């Protein structure tokens, strides 16, 4: 992992409000973020690869840059909201010299290693760096429930707060720039697996003519109620105490009946078969009487580190 200590003295002024900011990328998310900073009174410069997406923001008080170089040179704080990691390098590589001495906040969804690589690239060019993972959809930006997770230099995070806080709750997770994307993707893994399970349930009841809308009315409160079990599973996992009392066993949790019912109905079994595979690996290794939470051991490796990290706001 690269040494981030060089990025501890942020280029941003200490009490900058309003704080000039540049937003690169005016897709759904970039437009929402730029609208929030402009509305909050921060001088906002915007740039998008394809012309014609800045009109509403210009009407709201933002300035449209004529080029990427103009954009990054217009503000001490530059926010990337482009498509992916490759598009960030493609866009910023040619203007790294203009970014030197400024702060780059990368809100693009990346892997932890991609973020660490970008942080190292930034440091090598004299650019302060902060990584961010947006836990919201564009319509939520600036409103209740919107949270953005950050990692990288704490000093850079603190200096950028006047702008960051216009988007929602700002939470700093640690100096390792890979932490924000790690949490981001871990939370998305839980979300996507839950939605896939819901889709499987929709397909199952659909074989009896039940609409997805009717099923959702039952599924939503059921899934919400089940999330109360997460803390108990977490406690067992952190202590690796899968044999403790009161746990539903792996043998009892085996979803073979869900797989069989799906097969009988002619449905694809990918979702439930994936859960079954996690359970089976532990049962086959002789742990069938242990609790269901032991299924996590089918996923992780011996190198998994367990620590408590809540983040700070
Ligand atoms: N939307 C969400 O709910 C959400 C939530 C959390 C995180 N995010 C993350 O936020 C980022 C932006 O998402 P979005 O929803 O705004 O996506 P989007 O609507 O598809 O917009 C993508 C943006 O990236 C630009 N772009 C694509 N390839 C490029 C390239 N090679 N060089 C320069 N610019 C390029 C596009 O410019 P053009 O107009 O020229 O194509 C556009 O401005 C993504 O990393 C996404 O994962 C989004």
Q: What's the 87 CA to ligand 1 centre distance in angstroms? A: 9
Which atom of ligand 1 is nearest the CA belonging to 135?
6
CA of 29 to the centre of ligand 1 (A): 7
pLDDT at position 302, please? 65
Distance 25 CA to ligand 1 centre (A): 6
Give the pLDDT score at 8.
Answer: 46
Alpha carbon nearest to ligand 1 atom 48, residue? 29
Nearest CA to ligand 1 atom 32: 87
| Contacts within 8 Å (CB) and 24+ apart, 49-56 | 49/25, 49/91, 53/26, 53/27, 54/26, 56/31
> pLDDT tens for residues 95-111?
999 999 999 999 999 99
Which pLDDT value is given to residue 310?
60
Ligand 1: list residues with CB < 6 Å: 25-30, 48-50, 53, 81-84, 87, 90-91, 107-109, 134, 137-138
CA of 107 to the centre of ligand 1 (A): 10
Residue 227 CA to ligand 1 centre (angstroms)? 31
Q: Return the residue matching tokens 């929030």.
A: 36
| 260 Cβ neighbours under 8 A, 6+ residues apart | none
Cross-strand partners of 172: 150, 312
d(CA 139, CA 123): 33
Nearest ligand 1 atom, CA 107: 10
β-pairing, 44-47 vs 77-80, is: unpaired
Q: What is the pLDDT along the chain (313 residues), one digit of tens a residue?
A: 334 444 444 567 655 578 999 999 999 999 999 999 999 999 999 999 999 999 999 999 999 999 999 999 999 999 999 999 999 999 999 999 999 999 999 999 999 999 999 999 999 999 999 999 999 999 999 999 999 999 999 999 999 999 999 999 999 999 999 999 999 999 999 999 999 999 999 999 999 999 999 999 999 999 999 999 999 999 999 999 999 999 999 999 999 999 999 999 999 999 999 999 999 999 999 999 999 999 999 999 764 555 555 666 6
User: In this structure, are residues 121 and 146 in contact, taking their beta carbons and an 8 Å threshold?
Assistant: no
Tell me the CA–centroid distance for residue 33 and ligand 1, in Å. Answer: 12
Q: What is the pLDDT of residue 301?
A: 79
Q: How far apart are CA 80 and CA 87, in angstroms?
A: 10
Q: Which of 22, 25, 95 maximizes ligand 1 atoms within 8 Å of its Cβ, making it the mutation to test the pocket? A: 25
What are the residues facing 80 on neighbouring strands? 24, 106
pLDDT number for residue 304: 53
pLDDT confidence of residue 17: 77
- Order of strands across the sheet with 169-172? 63-64, 44-47, 21-24, 77-80, 103-106, 128-135, 147-152, 169-172
**3-state DSSP assignment of residue 11:** coil
Task: Please report, in angstroms and rounded to a whole number, the separation of the first and last CA atoms in the chain.
Answer: 25
Kind and range of the H or E element at 172? strand 169-172
Asked if the peptide bond before residue 27 counts as cis, ω within 30 degrees of 0, the response is no
Looking at ligand 1, which residue's alpha carbon is closest to its atom 27?
A: 83
According to DSSP, the residues that pair with 130 across neighbouring strands are 105, 152
Residue 262, both tokens: 């799906």
């Amino acid at each position: 992992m690269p040494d981030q200590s060089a990025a501890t003295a942020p280029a941003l002024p200490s009490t900058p409000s309003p704080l000039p900011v540049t937003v690169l990328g005016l897709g759904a998310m970039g437009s929402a973020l730029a609208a929030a900073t402009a509305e909050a009174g921060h001088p906002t410069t915007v740039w998008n690869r394809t012309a014609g997406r800045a009109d509403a923001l210009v009407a709201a008080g933002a300035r449209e840059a004529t080029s990427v170089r103009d954009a990054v040179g217009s503000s001490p704080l530059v926010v990337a909201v482009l498509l992916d990691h490759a598009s960030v390098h493609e866009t910023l590589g040619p203007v790294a010299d203009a970014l030197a001495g400024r702060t780059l906040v990368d809100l693009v969804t990346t892997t932890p290693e991609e973020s660490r690589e970008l942080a190292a690239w930034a440091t090598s060019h004299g650019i302060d760096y902060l990584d961010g993972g947006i836990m919201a959809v564009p319509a939520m930006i600036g409103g209740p429930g919107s949270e953005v997770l950050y990692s990288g230099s704490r000093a850079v995070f603190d200096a950028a707060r006047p702008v960051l806080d216009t988007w929602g709750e700002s939470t700093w997770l640690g100096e390792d720039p890979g932490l924000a994307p790690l949490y981001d993707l871990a939370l998305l893994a839980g979300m996507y697996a839950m939605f896939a399970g819901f889709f499987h349930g929709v397909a199952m009841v659909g074989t009896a003519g039940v609409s997805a809308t009717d099923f959702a009315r039952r599924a939503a409160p059921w899934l919400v109620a089940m999330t109360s079990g997460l803390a108990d599973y977490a406690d067992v996992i952190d202590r690796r105490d899968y044999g403790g009392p009161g746990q539903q066993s792996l043998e009892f949790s085996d979803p073979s009946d869900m797989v069989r019912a799906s097969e009988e109905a002619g449905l694809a079994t990918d979702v439930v078969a994936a859960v079954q595979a996690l359970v089976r690996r532990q049962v086959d290794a002789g742990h069938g009487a242990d609790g269901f939470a032991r299924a996590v051991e089918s996923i992780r490796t011996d190198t998994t580190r367990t620590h408590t990290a809540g983040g700070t706001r």
